[in-house]
Structure 1
Amino acid sequence: MMKERMKVSLPPEVKKYIQSYMKEHHLSFTGDAISRICQEHEEAQKKEGDSIEKSLKDVTQHIEDLLQKERLHIKKELLYMEQNIEQSTRDILKEVEDYSLAKRGELFASLLEGYEK
């Protein structure tokens, strides 16, 4: 890795932070400490980005699953309604047919009665 010399001015609290980081990680050079801090920061941001993407993917999948379940539920309900409508229609047609037969029977009986007289 190629290195480049820089002259930087840092606030005292940043300088203290870098010095304590150097002691904690047994580093001899300030540039190495700053490079490592930057690298750790970059990795943390990448992990955070990956975590957000994974969460987004999980939430999207969950929503798709819920929508699929809801579509199946609606499909079943529509099928059930259709069956009920068919049964009701059959029942009504049967009643109309029975009523019609009864009326024709009454008419036929009255015709026979009139014929017999």
Structure 2
Amino acid sequence: MTRIDAWTWSVRLFKTRSAAASACRGGHVKINGSAAKPAQHVVPGDEVRIRAGGFEKIVEVTQLVNKRVGAPAAVTCYIDRSPPPPPRELFAAVPVRDRGAGRPTKRDRREIDRLRSAPPSD
């Protein structure tokens, strides 16, 4: 048996083990639909959901590893069932000010705020 924080770090889903443990404590890691504590054990066949960076990664455990492995070996330890990321066109482009234009005026700031709070167009 392997701890969930150690397994997610070992298969390179998190950069550090402490980051994996923090994500577990924060409720961002779920095993079979229930929130996982860092010391919870994972077994082959479990579904692990990780919410990080505004996206959700869904993986199925196929192999247990205790030590960090290389990227080619890591992808053999799980099956990625994550939905494809949304197309880049759906994200609004951040308005760019010309270099040296100075601080935005009150009018510029209101236009920027209006663009940021506008609902996404279909």
TM-score (norm 2): 0.18
TM-score (norm 1): 0.19
Find the structure with the greater CA-based Rg: 1
Higher relative contact order (CA 8 A, sep 6+): 2
- Which has a greater percent of strand? 2
- Which has a greater percent of helix? 1
